[in-house]
Amino acid sequence: MVKYVNAKELEELIATSELPVFCDFWANWCGPCRMLAPVFEDLSDAYDGKAVFVKIDIDEEDSEAAAIKYGITSIPNVIAFKSGKPVANSLGFKPQAVLEEFVKENL
């Protein structure tokens, strides 16, 4: 299940999670973000217990800091975090098979 977080919650999660964290930086007005949402949700279900999947709305006031910190200039942008650090990102809409490969590579 995908959890919606703000910047503070994201920082706490990536600092403490023993599992890889995949964060989808998105916005409600973004068409490709809305297309990616069900794909991201399906992968969160498929990899439950192997990774944590979260979403952060870059337009929310308390989430701008995370977008700035991680250099988000285009969305959707899924960043993989391991051991508290970003290790890879996937920019733009990706079909499920492509995003699943990204997840597998970063578990």
80 is written with which tokens? Answer: 């993989």
23 part of the active site: no
Q: Is 33 among the catalytic positions?
A: yes
Please return the burial class of 54, using the count of CB atoms within 10 Å of its CB with bins 0-12, 13-18 and 19+: buried
Of 5, 7, 33, 39, which is the active-site residue? 33
- As beta bridge partners, residue 21 has 52, 81
Catalytic hit among 13, 14, 30, 99: 30
Q: What one-character DSSP code corresponds to residue 19? A: S
**In degrees rounded to 5, what are phi and psi of residue 91?**
-100, 135
| Both tokens assigned to 98 | 């492509």
Q: Return d(Cα 14, Cα 103) in angstroms, integer.
A: 16
Task: Catalogue the active-site residues.
Answer: 30, 33
